[in-house]
Amino acid sequence: MQKIKEIFLVSPFLVFFLVHSEQIGVGVLGYQRVIAKFAGYDSWLSVIIAAIFVHILIWMIYYVLDNGGGDIVTIHKTLFGGMLGNIFNLALVLYFLLWSITVLRTYIEVVQVWMFPTLKTWTIAVVFLILTYYVVSAGFRTVAGVCFLGVVIPLGLILLLIYPLEYTHFSNLLPVFDERMKDYFTASKNMMLSYLGFETLLVFYPYIKNAKKSQKFAHHANIFSFMMYLLVTLFSFAFFSQEQLARNIWATLSMVKIVQVSFVERFDFVFVSMWCLVILPNIALAIWCSSRVAKLMLNIRQHVTLIVLLCIVLLACIFLDTRFKINMLNNYTNIIGFYLAISYIPFLFVMTFIKKKIKQKRTNNGQTSSST
């Protein structure tokens, strides 16, 4: 693993903000319709199932990194050799690039639908990408700082859920356990897109001081994300009928829309505007991960890979100009992210476990031979 100077490292507790900032993003604005499609009002159980699964995957990630040297690029080359290892590295670059495109283009669509229908896609994309360039080029500590602010500043928005309480009917949630197990797991699979982002741990792990001690903060972040998703899910199901939920693309925004205060007529405009503080850390950390892996793989300056990746994101956002294309993008990202989670991470875990056991066996055999 490449030795990182201590001046560039961040404290272990910041892992909480790094992981949570990636898990709470554009998905929280409209995931309810997707999961309710399969398990109805019982879909809140899928939020729990997906969260438990993510806890297991986080534990696997730490096992791989703790026992593999801490650098995912090196781990790939050690486990699979130079050529195959670089294929895995390239897959990570493309995955985080796809993730950033999905988050940015989906948020731009929200802005265009709810606030500025005639606003060109490229104008919003350029503003976000300039900010992303400024943050990422300043180094990982700046990225971590933006993730911290992206969690703390918009946290008060959760209080807006108090307003729809008088219109909620929690009897909608009854009866419980009224669906098939297959439906629960299908809903959980679709819920995974909202929980994705924790896999950035694979890349920024070397930048954490006493990285092995940071695992509890990663789990705490997932618990906090789970609590927020569960709260929003329960309020949404109590607020909407199943027919309304099936037709509502952004259920969370529709609930916020009923908030009225004396000085703001449309509070959903304020919500969408402030949500950019949540979206920017999503994009910045994903682009940083993608550009860092590309830098280590190609042995070139990260500044160069950063510019190339940002240009690709801009072109992709311009090309994705219809609701059908954006919906397909989200579906493909969900599928790729889900199978990355259930196959790639456990596969790395098994390979690292086998390698560790072989190494221990050779060490024991060597000690036995020397003692005789």
> Ramachandran region of residue 179, left (φ > 0), alpha (ψ -120 to 50) or beta?
beta
Q: Which residues contact 112 (CB under 8 A, 6 or more apart)?
A: 119, 121, 124
DSSP string across 201-231: HHHHGGGBTTGGGGHHHHHHHHHHHHHHHHH
Q: What percent of the chain has pLDDT over 70?
A: 97
Identify the sign of the CA torsion 255, 260, 263, 266: positive
- Out of 111-125, 162-176, 259-273, pick the least confident: 259-273
Confidence band, pLDDT 50/70/90 cuts, at residue 366: low
Which H or E run contains 111? helix 82-114
Residue 372 has pLDDT above 60, yes or no: no
Residue 11 has pLDDT above 70, yes or no: yes
Identify the sign of the CA torsion 28, 34, 35, 40: positive
Q: Which residues contact 146 (CB under 8 A, 6 or more apart)?
A: 135, 280, 281, 284
Residue 294 has pLDDT above 80, yes or no: yes
Distance CA(125)–CA(120), nearest Å, equals 9
- For the segment 282-286, the average pLDDT, to the nearest whole number, is 94
DSSP string across 59-105: HHHHHHHHHHTS-HHHHHHHHH-HHHHHHHHHHHHHHHHHHHHHHHH
The per-residue pLDDT for 367 is 66
Residue 140 has pLDDT above 80, yes or no: yes
Domains and CATH numbers, the chain: 6-361 (1.20.1740.10)
Interval 208-251: pLDDT, tens:
998 889 999 999 999 999 999 999 999 889 898 888 888 888 88
AA identity, residue 138: A
